[in-house]
Structures are given as C-alpha cells and as structure tokens.
Amino acid sequence: MYHPIFLFDAYGTLFDVHSAVRRHAAELGPDAQRLSELWRTKQLEYSWIRSATGAYKDFWALTKDALDAAFAVYPQVDPDLREKLLEAYRSCDCFPEVPAVLRDLKIAGTRIAILSNGSPLMLNRAIRAAGLGDIIDDVLSVDTIGCYKPDPRVYEMATTHFRVFPSAISFQSSNRWDVAGGSKYGFRTVWINRAGALDEYQDMRPAAELPDLTGLTKL
C-alpha cells in the first residue's frame, strides 16, 4: 500500500443500494428484487442522460424519479411503500467489511475520501447511519459542479481538492464504468467487483480487481 489518498465511490461500493428494498421485501412481494434492480438501473441511466444533455438534477431527485419509473413497470407493487423505500435509501446499509477496512487504512496513515454522485445530504445521512463519520476525512459530491461520473470533471474535483496528480490517488469503485472513467483520468484504480461481472472495458483496465474491500490494505 503506497497511495496516501484512498478515494471511494459511495453507492454500490461502500453502501449497499439494494438494502433499502431488502428491508421491505416481504411487503413488496415477489417483484422486490426486480424492482430494486430496475430502480438502480434507471437511477444511473438518468444521471448519464442529465450529464450528456446538461440538464442537471441532483441525485436525490433522480433517485426518486427512478423509483417512480420502477413502480410504473411493476404496478402490482404497492406504491404506498414509496416513502418507506426512500427513507430506507437515505440510510442504506454499508457492506459488512467496510468499517474495518477503512479503519485499517486510516490507521496506516492514508487519507480516506468519498467521490460520489450522491448529494451532500444523502451522503451525510448514509455516513452517519453507517457510523463512518470519524473515519472519512473528505466527502466530494458532484453537486459542486453539476455533472455526473464518468465525466472527467468529476475526477478532477479530487485532484483539485487534494492538489495532487491523478497517480497519487487510489480510486475504488464497484461500478466498472466508473473504474474505466477513473483509469482514463489517470487514477490508480481498484475494481470492487462484488457481482463477479465480466470486464467490458479492456482498454481502460484497473490496477487491481477485488471481490470486496478486504485485501485493499495488502495491495
């Protein structure tokens, strides 16, 4: 481990985006998992379209829009559960290994930061709920510049904030497209491949691939 700055994506990497639906799976019924997957898919799709068109809306607004789209596709799911799901999303569970790994990195002398599409209020709530407030040093939200990953301006926020070259930053994300963006920008990237997905961006490879954050301190 040789990078003094460890920069993490938030949703899908530190926080489990499907935990909100799992909390209410019994009430949602047999389409719960499909609804959760579509909710996430639309959330990301909307962020890319908003960036490409310059019609920025913050990530919380997109999260609500995406949930409404998912409900429209699965009308048999009770729409009265909308507010419960949104409230659960505000405090998504963090993945089980996250607190210990981040704490080990911090003890080793690294600076721990988040670079996320999430709005500041979303991120602050999730960090508090996960008990990570005393571990994370910096939280960078795309709200500052009004566009979403993988726009290079998002990654530039980190180099500007820390006043370092991209190669001084180790960037971790579970989203392969995000890793591709970070690699292209010049970060040393680690793909947290929680889903065991295929690598679709061979020309923008990560420096390492892990099934979860465990092992980061040994790279």
Q: How far apart are alpha carbons 114 and 98 in whole angstroms?
A: 13
Separation in Å, CA 109 to CA 4, 32, 143? 7, 42, 29
Where do runs of H (alpha helix) occur along the chain? 19-23, 25-28, 32-53, 59-73, 82-90, 98-107, 120-130, 152-162, 176-185
**In this structure, how many other beta carbons lie within 10 angstroms of the beta carbon of residue 54?**
8
- Crossing angle, helix 59-73 and helix 120-130, to 10 degrees? 80
> Strand locations in 117-187, DSSP E?
138-141, 169-173
Six-digit token string for 124: 């602050």
Our answer to whether residue 137 is catalytic in this structure is no
Q: Which residues are designated catalytic?
A: 9
